[in-house]
Structure 1
Amino acid sequence: MDVRQMIESITREILQSMSTPQEKKPKWLFIFCDSTAHEAFTDQFIALQNHGICHDILFLDGETSSWLGMHRIECAGAGKIIATDEYAPAPLELPKEYDGIVIPEIDLDNAARVVAGLKGSIKAEVIFSALVLGKPVLVGEDVPGIKRSDRRCLKALSLPGPYQKLFQRHVNDMKELGIEFAAQKGLADAIIRKNRVSLPNHEPGSGGQQPVTAKLLTADWVKAQSEFTEDKLVLRQGAIVSPLAMDLLKEKGVAVRYVR
């Protein structure tokens, strides 16, 4: 076996045996009124996944209780239980783990709580915590302002005129607090745009070119590239280029640059 091939094989085995830290992906929390409200958002979840954005879903089964995975979360007053199992976070703690909060549908009651700075419901506490932490909050704008459960119970699809005006005033006040509104069908697009803006356009020495995420570049990897659009290849510091791969890059006139 050629010495270079042997070194490349050994390097590959060492890297595969090492537990390399995974690149942190952005993750957003969706809060739905019940366990069926998310079904209309399946395509949006796929779009987020295709753009490398993760998401969790919080299902509400009341004003003060919800489910995140298998953990039941409770929202109650001071001195009362706020989480029914030891692994469930309190509502105020939830935004700490996410890059943003999405509430596809908000109602008059929760909008009033948010504007007045009141707690007492899951949505109100999560929004309060996210705004205090400087996390983005995205809310669906094309909503009737009346809860899904109230619509089913009262057989009414919208609020009466005076309540509609009150709800719209609360929406305007929520915007002043920094809450963003978007159409329900465009929530995923809004999240994708926000994550693009939060990413740097370029890094020093990269000339605007996005670094390759691969940890090990082999000769096979170089051969698999149909063509190189630029005369340089930008890699993250710590990435390894095998000797055979480096020779092929030189033959193609491609220089290697490292960025942090």
Structure 2
Amino acid sequence: MVESVVREVVQSIKTEKETRKNGNVLFVFCDSSAHEPFTDQFIKLKNANIAYDILFLDGETSSWLGMQRVESSGSGRIIAADEYSPAAIELPKEYDGIIIPEIDLDNAARVAMGLKGTIKAEIIFSALMLQKFILIGADVPGIKRADRRCLKTLSLPAPYQKRFKNYAEQMNELGVQFELQKDLADKVIEQFSQKIEANAPESLESANEGLQFYEDSLLFRKRLLTAEWIQAQSHIPNNVIYVAKGTIVSPLAKDLLKEKKLTIKIAKRDE
């Protein structure tokens, strides 16, 4: 019985590692309810075969390092905190990128000034040192969720807003990217677009190589449709591109499709 349990655990670990083909990112949320609006984005990442872990920072004391450390409990799971696990500054070593949907004035100031002392500041500092990509929500008020609830206010006063904007500009100079919260998953997929395309299995079977056609229109046979691929096509018959079900279209590709007035349709599998 012990042997069968061990085999099952080992097999699950192997399966988890095998699925982490295209990338692995860490989401850092202010509290354990802040992730709920991002459910659809998590589905996008899963469909793109990008693994993600979640770190919750509940309460003011949790955001201060002290003797607390953080540990990942596995792909797609929650990160737990205890005194035996690796320190926050070590976390980015295990990830390709860090996603922080919301940052506040205090943490922004620490990062801009090169200071540490909070989990977010430690993680960002470490990720910048390791040259990992960092995405932060651009449409944030700059005041902690807990402070908003306590003070019953949703925005910073004008002088603080100006200071927060300056800190964001300084963080951008350091290499931190600011994107709209609703676009974070798309930006993550863009970061791994080449790897996704290289690892994607062919969606539709065909004996021919090179350009394929379906119902007198162009057939795209890979997993990720990029703007570069569209631009590389000298002619697209009938202004229609057929794709396999489940194909991911990058945000830049979507913009280019609108610009060129192209239509995407789903190709049916051959019986």
Query: What range is the shorter-chain TM-score in?
Result: 0.5 to 0.7
Q: Is the 8 A contact 2:107 2:121 kept in 1?
A: yes
% identity of equivalent residues: 59
**Distance apart, 1:131 and its partner CA:** 0.3
**Distance apart, 1:228 and its partner CA:** 2.7
Partner residue of 2:120? 123
Per-residue CA deviations over 1:2-45 (Å, capped at 9, x if unaligned) read xxxxxxxxxxxxxxxxx898364211000000000000000000
Q: Is the 8 A contact 1:142 1:183 kept in 2?
A: yes
The one of 123, 141, 145 aligned to 1:148: 145
The one of 101, 106, 112 aligned to 1:104: 101
CA distance in 2, matches of 1:64, 1:118: 18
Q: Is the 8 A contact 1:113 1:124 kept in 2?
A: yes
CA distance in 2, matches of 1:64, 1:173: 27
Partner residue of 2:192? 195
The one of 228, 231, 235 aligned to 2:207: 228
CA distance in 2, matches of 1:194, 1:75: 30
Q: Residues 156 and 102 (structure 1 numbering): CA distance in 2 closer, same or farther, change over 3 Å?
A: same
**Distance apart, 1:85 and its partner CA:** 3.7
Residues 158-237 of structure 1 aligned to structure 2 (within 5 Å):
158-197=155-194, 199=195, 210=198, 226-230=205-209
The one of 15, 22, 27 aligned to 2:18: 22
Q: Residues 225 and 148 (structure 1 numbering): CA distance in 2 closer, same or farther, change over 3 Å?
A: closer
> What is the Cα-based RMSD across aligned positions, in Å?
2.6
What letter matches 2:182 in structure 1? K
Q: Is the 8 A contact 1:64 1:122 kept in 2?
A: no
SS at match of 1:139: strand
Residues 4-153 of structure 1 aligned to structure 2 (within 5 Å):
22=18, 24-25=20-21, 26-65=23-62, 75-76=65-66, 81-83=67-69, 85=82, 87-153=84-150
CA distance in 1, matches of 2:170, 2:132: 18
Aligned length: 184
Q: Is the 8 A contact 2:142 2:155 kept in 1?
A: yes
CA distance in 1, matches of 2:183, 2:89: 27
**Distance apart, 1:230 and its partner CA:** 1.5
Instruction: With the length of structure 1 as denominator, give the TM-score of the two structures.
Output: 0.64
Runs of 5+ unmatched residues, structure 2? 1-13, 70-80, 211-271
SS at match of 1:37: coil
CA distance in 1, matches of 2:191, 2:200: 22
Instruction: With the length of structure 2 as denominator, give the TM-score of the two structures.
Output: 0.62
Per-residue CA deviations over 1:202-223 (Å, capped at 9, x if unaligned) read xxxxxxxx57769xxxxxxxxx
What letter matches 1:152 in structure 2? R
CA distance in 2, matches of 1:90, 1:122: 9
Runs of 5+ unmatched residues, structure 1? 1-18, 67-73, 202-209, 215-223, 232-260
